[in-house]
Amino acid sequence: MSSVEKEKVMKVRELMSSIAHTCRAQDGLDRAAGLLWEHDCGMLPVVDGEGRVGAVITDRDLCMAAYTRGRRLDEIRVAEAMSSTLVSCTADEDLTAAVRRMVEHRVHRLPVVDEQQRPCGVLSLNDLAGAAATDRRIVRPAMDVLVAVSHHRCEVPAPVEAAAEPQVEAHAKQ
């Protein structure tokens, strides 16, 4: 491998999935769940009337919204469960910058947007892991994202230990 090839900076477009299925803030979570299931994905960019990405909703957001509100999916709007902060990247961005953002924000996926904030794909941990199988340069970035997203948001309660067997005391005869 020449020094020019070694120095080649990988771009997001080289790994991203080029289809981004979307939903709208006014959609019900039942529609979002259907899209996630139908397209076997874990995140949908949420677009406005002009098709610009303003937020995302994940499969976990959807489940937690239904659980914490105690309502059916068709009774909850995407707007009630979507992210409040958008973290995204562009197709021509250096992969290292996008990975750094994934690590910093502890996200499995980034919507890839164009100059007008319209979706043009998704960069996911799955994309990184798949690429790492054939390109050793991707192993470390994939592991960095995996480690970051594996951290718990808060302290996890200690596991409940099984009840101890009753101790039978031996009584010595006196």
Which residue, 102, 92, 66, 100, is CA-closest to 81? Answer: 66
Q: Is 127 exposed, middle or buried (0-12, 13-18, 19+ CB in 10 A)?
A: buried
Query: Do the Cβ atoms of 55 and 111 come closer than 8 Å?
Result: no
State how far the Cα of 131 lies from the Cα of 158, in Å rounded to an integer.
36
pLDDT digits (tens, 9 = 90+) for 122-174: 999 999 999 899 988 888 888 888 888 887 766 666 666 655 555 555 554 44
Query: Do the Cβ atoms of 57 and 36 come closer than 8 Å?
Result: no
User: Which of the four pLDDT bands, split at 50, 70 and 90, describes residue 7?
Assistant: low
In the chain, the domains with their CATH numbers are 8-150 (3.10.580.10)
- Asked if the model's pLDDT at residue 3 lies above 50, the reply is no
State residue 157's pLDDT score: 65
pLDDT digits (tens, 9 = 90+) for 21-70: 999 999 999 999 999 999 999 999 999 999 999 999 999 999 999 999 99
Tokens of 158: 């200690």
State how far the Cα of 118 lies from the Cα of 124, in Å rounded to an integer.
18
Residues in the chain: 174
User: Which of the four pLDDT bands, split at 50, 70 and 90, describes residue 118?
Assistant: very high
Tokens of 106: 């502890």
